[in-house]
Chains A and B, each alone.
Chain A
């Protein structure tokens, strides 16, 4: 580029210490080795002395800049609306009822726009300020008044009305809106959307600002409202597997919706959504939207612990017979009650249930009841089952914990390995790179091109086996039905070895139990218990790890759920503990 003219600038680059400057189209110096742009610009002392080339570059620069920023006029919330739309479509493709998109999610979104004063209200937050400015500047843009109408059509947002007329030679240059100009002067920031800069600066109390992770919270809220057969962990797993647009969702924006500058910070995502975050956001949004009590979660709902337990028992290859026990635990703890399960955001203490984590916790509790999981009882019980199975090959086999452990350990290790490899190979960067400013643009695009080139070169060297074809979406991660010898199915095994007759019903043969948490935190630290892995038996660790991997949640939060269920199950014991402050870890059950 204009290296000649940049020669007189002799300072070292702050980033790479090289002295090798070029001039940008705006007359600023940039480092040719690391592309760092300085604040310093070439001083033009005498207009007469400017060589012709210089004038040319300025002209060229202005023209290019115009071309860059042209596109539809659009607002940040429209971008989010577009993402939500795509996500709803994806959910529909996954088999979720069609009402979800048009009735539920649409209404939630409208309500959000209203509550956050962006539309559907008397005085939308930016039209008031902006209308005057824009009308003054550009009389041809009269659609500002109709902004809310534009937004009203959720399913197909129409941006077409906004100014798209092309101005090929720049004779009738469209003045830049005042507010934007003042901003770019102030901090040399800009954005492709109309309110990107304002949006990122906006900090109002009591308003939940939209972010990309929050779109997932919206999705989950509507799934919950519809009582669909998708849990939060499923939703996040679908995101991870690419069935629901999330990372680089902006790629699918219409061509004319240009994103750059501040939009990058708003729409570019470089992290996976985490269960805890989305869960928290979901409650926050539900409260912000002032939603009424959600539809009841009754026993025939997928999210009811009885059903979910059944699902997870199948998933982790445990005998179907355990379902009786899980139902019993659910009943005793009262976590199957409609009032307990149903989400009510306007209740005094808005809180909902982590349905999936809770169901997994119930299974852990049942395993503890049956096998104690103290690194010894489960193995001796396994010995009994093993012996029995050897002697009675014809009968329904008894469940052998050791065998199950071996099978599951191998399966889960393989899955984990696959998962880690897939994560390491994940392609984060979109084909449409985002840049901060027009100076940045060429560099960013060039970099993108380079990466694509190199990737092409290396992809020819990869083993010829096609990269694992995209997994079909499924709520199950394991399939035990067609396992073969290496992956036997334990669903039909009986629990005779660990149950014994006690009166009319069966009770666990093992009469001991230990509590996952002796004492709950009562301080303000917000967590009820902690999970220090090494304090627990290895089999307990294994089971906690197994479920937390399947649900993609933290081990500590699953441990917490287990402790909470135990708290409900052994209420009397806990009140005793308080009185006696006994320290014994093992205690008789009842």
Chain B
């Protein structure tokens, strides 16, 4: 009948939901391994049982939090608080932060907790160690914002902003900037609400003038708050966005441009695609020359070749007079379609079909070849397999058509994609869409398509590109 190890596994999984068990890579089960590891870890240095209590407690809290058992977590928290009295100063100093994180999590979700308890907890934790004051204040404010108490959050941030204790260390300076910026963000929020109201007012109305004046005032105050943070390297997308919006509203175009340029091009800042997107959008609003727009997007293309602005980039390049821009336009399109997320982007395929034809007719076979060489090993399976042909045909017929056109140009007839579609009558659609004036012979099936493709558009392709 059953043997022991079976017994063991069965009873084990029955009563303690495989918490302490260890699975090896092969899926085998070693119930004893975990214990063994524990024994090894504690050997040598003898830990005090007090330390064991606190670390076990931490483990239990973590588990309870993961399982959303807030009451249980609160129970362990009660005992974990002892760590604040640990004689090991290393642990004692690290404790307030852990307690704050775990405690705020518990209080955030606990059914019996309310705003008041959270506030008292936060106030207590703020005053526990000087180093934590700002961090906790900021998170407290975020909690309040989350609960829609913007006024209260603003008051909190103001209090934190003016708070000084001895010499602030460098890490705290960033925090103060951040606090100011969040305050600025809150002000931006009220400002943009007012802006909405303003847009509803009649321009000739008396109220309009006063309202716009207060708004100007307001935005000036806010920009002071936001400005400091934006100077320090980092990723500050929401702040930059709102700052620029307000600067533009005040008519300070140069200021906005400077901020965006700085945000996008300063080398101290981490590489951030959004910085370039913001700059591009700003320049577009400003109706900047095409050359400038292209140069911005070129950088974005290097960071994120699959960005949704890339199609716009392609359009710009296509319209450009420069030869190398045309070449880049082709690269960009191929680049976009390299990404799995863009495979169903019909616009991209449409552009590619159109542009390929243009290229081939415009005697730029070498460009196409260059792009295709690196992709010919995987694109057929990636884009043009018969599986895709089938599913595209079922889900999105126009997409299938565009892809078939591209595939036809790149691969020729008789290969998976075109072959499949030809059989399913795509053919008629192709004929309709075909811009060539030729008459199609209806009797000859896909042979006609072949001839059509070969004769009409792909004739130069055959020797070099098709395989």
Q: Which A positions have Cβ atoms within 8 angstroms of B?
A: 3, 15-21, 32-34, 36, 270-272, 375-376, 378-379, 383, 402, 405-406, 409-410, 413-414, 417, 420-421, 423-429, 433, 444, 447-448, 450-451, 453-455, 457-463, 467, 533-534, 537-539, 541
Contacts and interface: CB of A to CB of B under 8 A. Distances in A.
A266 to B, nearest CB: 14
B74 A462 contact: yes
Contact of B110 (A33, A270, A413, A461): A461
Given A21-B166, A423-B53, A457-B120, A447 B89 contact: no
A18 B169 contact: yes
A446 to B, nearest CB: 10
B288 interface: no
Interface in B50-96: 50-53, 56-57, 59-60, 70-72, 74-79, 81-82, 84-85, 87, 89, 93
Contacts of B81: 451, 454-455, 458
B36 A534 contact: yes
Interface residues of B, number: 58
Given A375-B3, A533-B32, A20 B78 contact: no
Nearest to B117: A457
B36 A271 contact: no
Interface stretch (B127-135, B355-363, B415-423): B127-135
Contact of B124 (A19, A378, A453): A453
B78 A425 contact: yes
A17 B85 contact: no
B85 A405 contact: no
B84 A451 contact: yes
Contacts of A454: 81, 99, 103, 121, 124
Contacts of A461: 70-71, 74, 106-107, 110, 112-113, 117
Contacts of A3: 166
Contacts of B51: 270
B163 interface: no
Interface stretch (B8-16, B21-29, B372-380): B8-16
Interface in B112-170: 112-113, 117, 120-121, 124, 128-131, 165-167, 169
B48 interface: yes
5 contacts: A15-B93, A19-B166, A458-B75, A461-B117, A462-B74
B394 interface: no
A450 B117 contact: no
B72 to A, nearest CB: 7
B48 A409 contact: no
Contacts of A272: 49
A233 B112 CA distance: 42
A413 B52 CA distance: 20
Contacts of B169: 17-19
B42 interface: no
B78 to A, nearest CB: 5
Nearest to A545: B35
B267 interface: no
B181 to A, nearest CB: 24
A34 B56 CA distance: 25
B59 to A, nearest CB: 8
A368 B60 CA distance: 37
Given A16-B131, A410-B11, A270 B87 contact: yes
B5 interface: yes
B4 interface: yes
Contact of A34 (B74, B77, B79, B93): B93
B443 interface: no
Given A34-B93, A270-B87, A413 B50 contact: no
Interface of B: 1-5, 7-8, 11, 15-16, 32, 35-36, 48-53, 56-57, 59-60, 70-72, 74-79, 81-82, 84-85, 87, 89, 93, 99, 103, 106-107, 110, 112-113, 117, 120-121, 124, 128-131, 165-167, 169
B215 to A, nearest CB: 41
A428 B77 CA distance: 14
Chain A to chain B: the 3 pairs with minimum beta-carbon distance, closest first: A20-B166, A33-B130, A461-B74
Contacts of A417: 16
A272 B103 CA distance: 28
A454 B71 CA distance: 15
B73 to A, nearest CB: 9
A325 B85 CA distance: 53
Contacts of B35: 533
Given A447-B85, A451-B84, A19 B36 contact: no
A451 B79 contact: no
Contacts of B56: 420, 423-424
Nearest to B56: A424
A90 B107 CA distance: 40
B8 A33 contact: no
Contact of A425 (B4, B75, B106, B165): B75
Contact of B78 (A15, A378, A458): A458
A423 B51 CA distance: 11
Contacts of B128: 450
Contact of B75 (A379, A383, A462): A462
A538 B4 contact: yes
A448 B85 contact: yes
A18 B130 contact: yes
Contacts of B76: 424-425
Contacts of A459: 74, 78
A402 B78 contact: no
Contacts of B131: 16, 18, 33-34
Contacts of B74: 458-459, 461-462
B8 A423 contact: no
Nearest to B127: A450
B167 to A, nearest CB: 5
Given A410-B15, A457-B120, A428 B53 contact: yes
A541 B113 CA distance: 46
A379 B82 contact: no
A402 B7 contact: yes
Contact of A451 (B85, B112, B117): B85
Contact of B84 (A270, A421, A447, A534): A447
B22 to A, nearest CB: 13
Contacts of A423: 49, 52-53, 56
